[in-house]
Amino acid sequence: MNKKLFWCSPKVRVQCVFLILLIVAPFFFLGGPGYRGARSFVALWNLGHVFFFTLASWLLYLLVRDRRPQASLLAGKMYVFLGVLVLGIAIEGLQMGFDGRTPDLGDIIRNQLGCLITFAFFCSEKKKRGFFLYQLAVVMMVGIALYPLSRAVIDELRALRQFPFLSDFETPFEIDRWKDGEMLSVQEGIARHGHHSLKVQLTTETYSGVSLCYFPGNWQGFEKLFISVYSPDDEKLDLVCRIHDSKHNNEYIDRYNKRFILEKGWNDLVIPLSDIQKAPAGRLLNMEKIENLRLFVVKQEKERVVYIDNVYLGR
């Protein structure tokens, strides 16, 4: 009698892995974090490609070894590697028809990383001399793949601890809370609080600016929003502040919009949250689910630069 436990038998392992792949496969086309999903959720979701194709590569490897036992070890792995590549490209192509998704080269790279993980740790052939170096290289690649998740988790935890400060650029990775800018960089030396600020390059496009997208969205219980903006030019600059909640329908009358005229030097903007709440026509903006804060200019005749700092809520 076979002394191995039933669940440890090779046949059952293959069946379990195949079942897992069947369960996970639909998520290539359905679900996901969405456009405004938390950065950590987006990064974790992307790592699903690595998980899926690590298991898929293992099954493909067993299939190749079973169907082509005469093939060399290298040839067998090449079949698997190319098979994963073709399958990954096909999935990216098919995704274009689902929920506005677009092909992502990063996903294909993550697929191939899953394949390399299988070769490094789940193939049973006798390891040759120097194979440890290959395993070490794969571990380093896995570390690189995990970096976006680690970076997102670190800053999200910091954002919770810093609240009601939304951003003052004194901690690493804070720039990731902002997006949509043409050129963003953390600048040292020009600061309203601490030692750093966010340098924003404004272009001559119709709308040019930057959005704070990732932050604690429950502003209930506070009275004012404070934003410091530095303009280095003598010429005045019209800057628009736009704020909306999770129920925003993308119409102008369904959000907060206000124009501020910036003078040279630091401009300390103070916005009553009551004004933000009452801004939408026909409803109150949900102060417990603020989703986006955008600062932008409209149809500038020339490129300009501003510096943003000390964004926080107060009473």
Residue 269 near residue 227, CB atoms below 8 Å: yes
Backbone angle region of 231, left / alpha / beta, with phi > 0 → left and psi within -120 to 50 → alpha: beta
pLDDT-derived band at 182, boundaries 50, 70, 90: low
How much is the mean pLDDT over the chain?
Answer: 89
Interatomic CA distance for residues 21 and 42, integer angstroms: 20
State the pLDDT at residue 125.
Answer: 64
Per residue in 157-174, pLDDT (tens digit) is 999 999 999 999 999 899
Q: How far apart are CA 125 and CA 110, in angstroms?
A: 24
Burial of 4 (0-12, 13-18, 19+ CB in 10 A): exposed
Q: Domain ranges for the chain, please list them.
A: 9-158, 167-314
Angle between helical axes of 105-121 and 39-67 (0-180°, round to 10): 50
H/E element, 305: strand 304-314
**pLDDT, tens only, 48-60:** 999 999 999 999 9
Whether the predicted pLDDT of 188 surpasses 50: yes
Angstrom distance (rounded) from CA 190 to CA 232: 10
Q: Please enumerate in sequence order all residues whose Cβ is within 8 A of that of 202, keeping only pairs 6 or more positions apart, or say none.
A: 182, 208, 209, 297, 300, 303, 304, 305, 306
Please report the pLDDT score of residue 35 as a whole number: 64
Whole-number pLDDT of residue 1: 40
Q: How far apart are CA 283 and CA 289, in angstroms?
A: 14
Mean pLDDT, to the nearest integer, of 87-99?
81
The string of pLDDT tens digits covering residues 215-244 is 999 999 999 999 999 999 999 999 999 999
CATH of 167-314, one of 2.60.120.260, 3.90.550.10, 2.102.10.10, 3.40.50.1820: 2.60.120.260
Query: What pTM was computed for the model?
Result: 0.82
The conformational region for residue 12 under phi > 0 = left, psi -120 to 50 = alpha, else beta, is alpha
Tally of CB atoms within 10 A around 29: 14
pLDDT above 70 coverage of the chain, percent: 93
The β-bridge partners of 42 are none
Q: 21-50: per-residue pLDDT in tens?
A: 889 888 888 777 766 778 999 999 999 999
What tokens does 105 get?
A: 């080269």
Angle between helices 39-67 and 10-24 (to 10 degrees): 140
CA torsion 233→238→243→249, rounded to 10°?
Answer: -140
pLDDT exceeds cutoff 50 at 13: yes
Choose among 103, 129, 12: nearest CA to 49: 103
pLDDT one-digit tens code per residue, 129-147: 778 888 999 999 999 999 9
- Among 250, 258, 238, smallest CA distance to 291 is for 250
pLDDT of residue 37: 77
β-pair type (237-245, 290-298): antiparallel
12 to 4, 56, 216: CA distances (angstroms): 11, 15, 46
CB atoms within 10 A of CB 178: 23
- Position 207: which residue type? Y
Per-residue model confidence (pLDDT) at position 6: 46
